[in-house]
Amino acid sequence: MRVPMIFSSINPYSQKRLKSYRADGQATIERKLKQADRAFADWSALSLRERTDYLRKVGQHLVTNKQQYAELMTTEMGKTLREAVGEVEKCAAACTFYSDHAESFLADQFIRTDAQSSFITYQPLGPVLAIMPWNFPFWQVMRFAIPGLIAGNVGLLKHAPNVIGCALAIEELFLECGLPAGVFQSLLVDVPVVENLLKDKRVKAVTLTGSGRAGSSVAGIAGREIKKSVLELGGSDALIVLADADLDKAAEVAVKSRMQNAGQSCIAAKRFIVEKAVKKQFTERVLHQINQIRQGDPMDDATTMGPMARLDLADAIERQCRTTLAKGAKLLTGSHNSALRRDGCNVQPMLLDKVKPGMAAFDEETFGPMAVLIEAKNEIEAVRLANQSDFGLGSALWTQDLEKADRLARQIQAGSVFINGLMRSDARVPFGGIKNSGFGRELSELGMKEFTNVKTIWVEKP
């Protein structure tokens, strides 16, 4: 298939073309692969302390230039400037976290056996291909790159076509902080090139954050090539509210989770499953919170929700809303409670009631500012409804009975369950899903070790 020659970056709020980028040709791709292969030999030979020193500089550089990077994100994909600044700060904090903990995470692990010495050592694999999405254009990349590079791997980034500016800025960031050329490179390529990259012997592993369809394709190729893969795919995360929950706090956090980044988050709370006894009260509080949202220019500090990133994404969430309404759901927000309001990529926050299994808003991943209310008779039905999904990324559970919370959290089929709090990724704990939400883990010690050779060394007495 012919590779597109041009990628265009378009401001989703104004729909103005920002910049165009020429795709890498075959000669450029080959040059970058060779450079990555050579860079890995030198980079992995550095001491762990030397590599962490480089990444500390990256963290400092992010803090110093956070406004510049935030403005780039906002203009390319539409998130509010406040959200973008927070994203850069989160990347900087991860640099500090891994620099502080890499030595203990990657330390040799000694095992008592009948040998003179036996231990596990963690060694880098080589060039890792990262296929990353547009919704968190810095964080998604950096949460792979920071632990991966410190562990001794080198990175090849295939970023989403609408955030090429961010991809190049991240590459330049590493170079400005002194990392050798080839340790982290952006590949300006489209989907048809990915298979050839995965088949190239110099690429040792792949990590992908994206759709289930993309994950299935990449995992299939990686499997045939016998290469390690980590997949963070979609989610249809449940937020369970039981009758004894703090309804004010639960509603506030639920709306924040669902509507941040214009609803474009894999781990957003998408299905509000509420015990019947408090559903009316919770609904009133959620509507109040949604009515406080101010849409507009994402560069304006007063704006609390920007546009969706692309017109096709706005089309998709509108289609899911309409098909769900056609099956009997009720729209509680919008013009006269019956129609969705939308202006290009600017989509009004939606709250749908009477949503049930079999409706698009229950069964599918909804990637946009749409929350749905689902009634449960009791806690048993609430957990059953939460698990009645092809996805299993993250969930939230609201109750003041912590003993009950512990018991129910263990029954929820998800990679994470947050009790009385906002479901989020955090460098200190593993992140990832089960079922169609993917496999493998990012972040924490486990994430750092995903792209290492877990090598056993056994020493007998001479």
**What's residue 336's pLDDT?**
43
For the domain 237-426, what is the CATH superfamily, name and number?
A: Aldehyde Dehydrogenase; Chain A, domain 2 (3.40.309.10)
DSSP state of 328: T
- pLDDT score for 74: 98
Known catalytic membership, residue 177:
no
Any idea which fold 6-233+437-459 has?
Aldehyde Dehydrogenase; Chain A, domain 1 (3.40.605)
pLDDT at position 289 is 97
Active site residue 266: yes
Question: At residue 168, what is the residue type?
Answer: L
Rounded (10°) CA dihedral 234, 156, 140, 97: 130
CA distance 24 to 168: 13
Q: What is the pLDDT of residue 356?
A: 98
DSSP state for residue 442 in the 8-state scheme: B
At residue 146, the 3 state secondary structure works out as helix
- How many Cα atoms sit within 13 Å of 234 on the Cβ side? 20
DSSP classification of residue 295: B
> Residue 434 corresponds to which tokens in the numbers above?
């089960």
Q: Which of these is catalytic: 232, 275, 375, 445?
A: 232
> Where are the domains positioned within the chain?
6-233+437-459, 237-426
Out of 266, 365, 375, 450, pick the active-site residue. 266
Pairing of strands 350-353, 370-376: parallel
Q: Evaluate whether 276 touches 353 at the Cβ level (below 8 Å).
A: no
Task: List all residues 6 or more positions away from 374 whose beta carbon is below 8 Å from its beta carbon.
Answer: 271, 272, 273, 274, 355, 356, 362, 385
Quick check: 191 and 168 in contact, CB under 8 A?
no
pTM listed for this prediction? 0.96
Identity of the amino acid at 65: N
Contact between residue 271 and residue 386 where contact means Cβ atoms under 8 Å apart: yes
Per-residue pLDDT of the chain (462 residues), as tens digits, is 454 579 999 999 999 999 999 999 999 999 999 999 999 999 999 999 999 999 999 999 999 999 999 999 999 999 999 999 999 999 999 999 999 999 999 999 999 999 999 999 999 999 999 999 999 999 999 999 999 999 999 999 999 999 999 999 999 999 999 999 999 999 999 999 999 999 999 999 999 999 999 999 999 999 999 999 999 999 999 999 999 999 999 999 999 999 999 999 999 999 999 999 999 999 999 999 999 999 999 999 999 999 999 999 999 999 999 999 999 999 998 544 455 688 999 999 999 999 999 999 999 999 999 999 999 999 999 999 999 999 999 999 999 999 999 999 999 999 999 999 999 999 999 999 999 999 999 999 999 999 999 999 999 999
What is the pLDDT at residue 323? 97
Separation CA 324–CA 360 (nearest Å): 6
Q: How many helices (H) and strands (E) does the chain have?
A: 15, 22
What pLDDT, on a 0 to 100 scale, did the predictor assign at position 1? 43
Query: Could you tell me the CA-to-CA distances from 22 to 112, 191, 195 in Å, in that order?
Result: 56, 15, 20
pLDDT reported for residue 333: 86
